[in-house]
Structure 1
Amino acid sequence: MLGTVIKAELNNMLRDKMYLVFALYPIILGGIGYFLINYIEERVAQDNLAPEILAMFLILMTGYIFGALIAFTLLDDKDDLVLMSLKITPISVKSYVIVKLVVAFIFGFVATLVITLATSFLPNASFWSIMLISFTGALQAPGLTLIVNSFSRNKVEGFVVMKLSGLLLVLPVIAFFTMNWQEVFLVFAPGFWPARLIQIELLPEFETNFNYITYFILGVIYNMLFLTLLMKIYTKKSNL
């Protein structure tokens, strides 16, 4: 079923202009960021964190965008009564939704990995470090998909919820200036964990509370717990 859903999502992107824009948005952002970061680096002081913050923001945005994309295709499924039709088939609605969430993660992971490697946003990071950052960053995608579908009934409400949830991307920026115990107030944002990994790669001279692998493990555990909670909320609100 995973392959079928992936194929269907790709067809949706090609058929619907809005979804196509969503799919191309990370590429556009990556292209702009590639030149903009170099431009900023040449014009600001060496201790200015603007280039690093911009690189972090663009990397995190990739997973976020694909989460929004799958969120709206899931709303389409609801409007087209696809979810209701599944109730009379051997495939459970919950299984279908979980597959959609996996697709959101896969798209977010692949896009984040490719764009980060292609743009050299993390010039000194190893391939495996970028893999771990892409993995934790992509976990935002299914989370956003569930947030949008749990608290909106249609695309109009979905856009509002998506924009409001975008405020979560502000917290990872704050993390760049919070190194001590105060980071405990930021760990609830899913993007905090990949942001901290990015920061360790870009600014290795800064001391953090944990090492790279510890942040990765904690980030995966937290995001999985967060997704489990969101799935329960979505299941209850959708009467699955």
Structure 2
Amino acid sequence: MALTQIFKTDSKRILSDSFMVFMYIAPWATAVITKAGWVYLGMHYPDVSLDPVITTLAVALLTPLNMGIVLGFQLLEEKEQGVFRAIAVTPLNNDLYLLYRFAITAVVATVMTIFVHELLGLVDINLWYLVLIVVVAACQIPLQALTIAGFAKNTLEGFAVMKGTGFLLLVPLLVAHFFAGESLSWLAGIFPFFWLIRAYQFAVENQLTQFIICIGVGITYTMMICGLLMKYYRISALK
């Protein structure tokens, strides 16, 4: 019953908040605009060369991060209201509560990401490769959410943290685009999103061994960081 009530409350909160509604609509709108722009450039400016892999990564596979931002602001609002402290004394403990929030958001983001990827339609990739990649992308949800909710004290600071973490995505994308063939590019592996990018590139090239390694490292590394962020969030939310 408690989880059902949380789901209903979250749904009402998202539908009543224009920013959160926008974050859910943005991936679809961006995919449609990008696809239309791609077709237009192909018809009128055939000499313009764009990278379909990087474009897809920048549009479709950022969808889970959008969902993580929405969840991060939800957790931040609940931290301000003392909801996390209240849950600590109920049968629904904090860890189960957070796991539920992450799981629901991950399921929604996974479905959305696959549909947005296919709507964009710039890269032809094996479905099973795509599903595994989206699993790694879904791991970014708690990372993004806990970064915002853990380090920000209010909504204003939340927006600042959200903007400040943009380089965590931008740097791996730039490295993958301009320095993909260089061994030093692997130094960008300190950024969790880098492993998602590399896994996608290897999937497109059908390099199974490298793909599996990047998937494994991506999930393990991201979950380790999420574990540390969860501990920090518990401390800040229970103050």
TM-score of the two chains, using structure 2 as the length reference: 0.86
Partner of 1:72: 73
The alignment's C-alpha RMSD in Å is 2.5
Task: Check conservation: 2:76, 2:154, Cα contact below 8 A.
Answer: yes
Letter in 2 for 1:98: L
SS of the aligned residue for 1:55 comes to: helix
> As a proportion of its length, which structure holds more helix?
2
- For 1:13 and 1:62, the matched residues in 2 are separated by 16
1:149-190 superposed Cα distances (whole Å, 9 cap, x missing partner): 111011100000001111111122112323343133111212
> For the residues of structure 2 that align with 1:188 and 1:3, how far apart are their CA atoms?
38
- 1:127-138 pair list within 5 angstroms: 127-138=127-138
After the TM superposition, list the runs of 4 or more consecutive aligned residues in structure 1 that deviate by more than 6 angstroms.
none
1:1-240 correspondence to structure 2 within 5 Å: 4-41=5-42, 43=45, 45=47, 48-122=49-123, 124-173=124-173, 174-176=175-177, 177-202=179-204, 204=205, 211-239=210-238
Aligned AA (1:100): R
Gaps of 5+ in 2: none
Q: How many angstroms does 1:45 deviate by? A: 4.7
Contact 2:20–2:70 at 8 Å: present in 1 too? yes
Q: Deviations over 1:123-142 (max 9, x none)?
A: x2011111112111121111
Residues 80 and 37 of structure 1: is their aligned pair in 2 closer, same or farther, counting only changes over 3 Å?
A: same
Question: Sequence identity of aligned pairs in percent?
Answer: 25
The alpha carbon displacement at 1:23 in A equals 1.3
Q: TM-score, normalised by structure 1?
A: 0.86
- Cα deviations by residue, 1:183-221 (Å, 9 ceiling, x for unpaired): 33111212112211222344x29xx89621221122111
Pairwise CA distance, 1:2? 5.2
Q: Which amino acid aligns with 1:91?
A: L
Alpha-carbon separation, structure 2, partners of 1:41 and 1:132: 31
What is the aligned residue count? 235
Q: Aligned AA for 2:82?
A: L
Q: Which amino acid aligns with 1:36?
A: G
Contact 2:61–2:117 under 8 Å retained in 1:
no
Q: 5+ unaligned residues in a row in structure 1: which ranges?
A: none
- 1:11 Cα deviation (Å)? 2.5
Residues 84, 229 of structure 1: alpha-carbon distance in 2 compared, 3 angstrom cutoff: closer
**Higher mean displacement: 128-137 or 74-83:** 74-83
Sort the Cα spacing of 1:7 and 1:111 in 2 relative to 1 into closer, same or farther, 3 A. Answer: farther
Contact 2:64 2:140 in 1 (8 A): yes
Amino acid at match of 1:60: L
Change in Cα spacing, 1:45 to 1:78, as seen in structure 2 (3 Å) is same
For residues 47-73 of structure 1, what are the alpha-carbon distances to aligned partners after superposition, in whole Å with 9 as ceiling and x for unaligned? x45443222111232111000000111
- Larger displacement relative to structure 2 (97-106 or 216-225): 97-106
